[in-house]
Structure 1
Amino acid sequence: MAERRILMMGSLAAVAVLAAGGAFLALRSAGDEFAQCRGSSAGGGMEAFGTAFTLTDQENRRVTDGQVFDKPSLLYFGYTFCPDVCPMDVARNDLAVEILKDQGLETQSVMITVDPRRDTPEVMADFTAQFGEGMVGLTGSEEEIAAVNRGWRNYYKAHDEEDKEYYLVDHMTNTFLVMPGNRTVEYFPNAMSLEDMADRAGCFLRAAS
């Protein structure tokens, strides 16, 4: 009986491996050059994430998505008054950029604010200056920020009903990998380690080169 159970488990494992291999081949045959790199799935596919935009960077310049995403980018939605999660996530993303740079792979860290009322270009400049050279910080009007957050399906809500100055903002904490041409190909959860993020992002960058 035990031997039969072992054989059945072995057969099921083999079927699972074959199914995974078949799915991989199907993606390759469908023209997905990143099939071997993917670790996430989303309703509508990753191509459902993203939108065209014009926002204001930390140098107070109006920039389009085409100008921002002129290289592979680790895109994060956060805010400068965030007490803990945002600085830690942005620091991880910045270190991933450095690891990839050491491997000869160019990318950049980008943060779009979810708190445009307080995150002026000057405030964004002070924030991005704390991280690696080349980080991009983007802000805009309430309407512009709402539209770009909808494009990446990012939920956020300011708790400013009682305090209009020192409020906190709830928001999602995924980081998106956006390729040139504003093409979102993957997202990395907040819990992902620096090493795993760099490895996964590196797979996409190598596949694209």
Structure 2
Amino acid sequence: MTGVQKILWGVAGAALLVFAGLVLMANRATAPPADTPFRPTFALPDAEGRLRTAEEFSGKHLLVFFGFTNCPDVCPRTLIEVAQVMDGLGGQADLVQPLFISIDPTRDRGLELAEYTAAFHPSILGLAGEEAQTRAAAGSFRILYERENNSGAPDGYTMAHSASLYLIGPDGDWLRQFSYGTPASENLNDLKQRL
């Protein structure tokens, strides 16, 4: 085995470990017990600095995903599925607001976040606040995330995070989570039955 092949195998192994960590975190996300009221909240600025809250979207279903713009695979795949759901809703799309909440606000604040989400679908609203705001929102949704050093990633780090897609009802109550990799068609069918 040549030196280049060893390096490539090492990089592939590291990528596999990061992916396994993301899947593990996705599976550790805690759904609330069925008999416990659960109403996640957030107060985070959008790309233009306007503070957005859960109450603002009262009357709409929310599809919420926590991720970061430098994510190589999990986040883009999930946002593609969200876009497919929004397209599949047709005339009912205005009853649903998809949200992308950044767990890497240091890199994701600013207009680049709006460009990132719009590249997937124009209705996806990106939110990125200060670290305390992000931690509060993540805690409210009961999701996990953490920074991991990675010399091969932009700025020398990546983010491990719960990778589920969360559905919040028009009254603000948590309805369910879709595990990472749930087909868009399944998400769409579930949502259509609720609208």
TM-score normalised by the chain length of structure 2: 0.75
Aligned to 1:197: 187
Distance, in Å, in 1 between the alignment partners of 2:58 and 2:78 is 20
Cα shift at 1:57: 0.7
RMSD (Å) for aligned C-alpha atoms? 2.4
1:133 aligns with 2:137: no
In structure 2, stretches of 5+ residues that fail to align are 1-29
1:182 aligns with 2:163: no
Compared with structure 1, are the counterparts of its residues 115 and 47 closer, same or farther at alpha carbon in structure 2 (3 Å cutoff)? Answer: farther
Compared with structure 1, are the counterparts of its residues 84 and 164 closer, same or farther at alpha carbon in structure 2 (3 Å cutoff)? Answer: closer
TM-score normalised by the chain length of structure 1: 0.70
Distance, in Å, in 2 between the alignment partners of 1:122 and 1:199 is 33
Cα shift at 1:105: 6.8
In structure 1, stretches of 5+ residues that fail to align are 1-40
Compared with structure 1, are the counterparts of its residues 111 and 46 closer, same or farther at alpha carbon in structure 2 (3 Å cutoff)? Answer: farther
Distance, in Å, in 1 between the alignment partners of 2:92 and 2:136 is 35
Cα shift at 1:64: 1.7
Deviations 1:46-86 (A, max 9, x none): 86544333210122211221114552121101110101110
Distance, in Å, in 2 between the alignment partners of 1:46 and 1:75 is 22
Q: Is the 8 A contact 1:174 1:188 kept in 2?
A: yes
Distance, in Å, in 1 between the alignment partners of 2:43 and 2:86 is 24
Cα shift at 1:184: 1.4
Identical positions, percent = 27
Distance, in Å, in 2 between the alignment partners of 1:96 and 1:147 is 27
Q: Is the 8 A contact 1:121 1:138 kept in 2?
A: no
Cα shift at 1:123: 2.3
Cα shift at 1:179: 1.9
Larger Rg: 1
Match of 1:170 among 160, 179, 195: 160
Compared with structure 1, are the counterparts of its residues 148 and 131 closer, same or farther at alpha carbon in structure 2 (3 Å cutoff)? Answer: same
Greater RCO structure (CA 8 Å; 6+ sep)? 2
